[in-house]
Amino acid sequence: MPTLISLFLRRTALGLLLACAFAGTAGAQTGGATGIIQEITNVVGLQPRFELRATHDVDNAAAVVYGGKRYLLYNPDFLAAVNRAGRTDWAGISILAHEMGHHLNGHTLRAGGSNPQDELEADEFSGFVLRKLGASLAQAQAALAAVATTRAPV
């Protein structure tokens, strides 16, 4: 059974292909997301080994490898929508951490796409990050509820 986050981070094959094809030029990094990534990597003690890209070529967010480079792609409108829905930044942080979890757990290094175990591992990393950044259990649950009730932009 898919996890809550995985249900809302589904990507179409066409969307991923477009995102990968344009990953080098699809969009500039957004300061807020870049800052969040830096906070996450600081708290877990790792260096980001991927490029962060804002793009409207993905519905929500995706961790992908293209041309031998790792990318974390995200739709800034979607992240803004989940943050508005949750009235906090924890939802957006959770999504970015989830996608980072895919890279850090090596999920993007093997073929076959997503599977339930990978999604659970990425969810676990996301929860770990939220706690390390200071989110309470109630805030983490509210973040996931915001993700669950927010649709990706059309």
Please state whether the predicted TM-score (pTM) of the whole model is above 0.75: yes
For residue range 27-79, list pLDDT tens digits in order.
334 467 888 888 998 998 988 888 999 999 999 999 999 988 999 999 999 99
Q: Alpha helices of 22-75 — where are they, by DSSP H?
A: 31-44
pLDDT digits 0-9 by tens, 139-150: 988 888 888 777
Structure confidence by residue, pLDDT tens digits, 89-130: 999 999 999 999 999 998 998 888 778 999 999 999 999 999
Q: Do residues 49 and 103 make contact, with C-beta atoms less than 8 angstroms apart?
A: yes
> Which residue is listed with tokens 């031998």?
68
**Alpha helices, DSSP H, located in the chain:** 4-8, 13-21, 31-44, 76-86, 90-104, 116-132, 137-149
All structural domains of the chain, each given as residue ranges with its CATH number in brackets, are 4-149 (3.40.390)
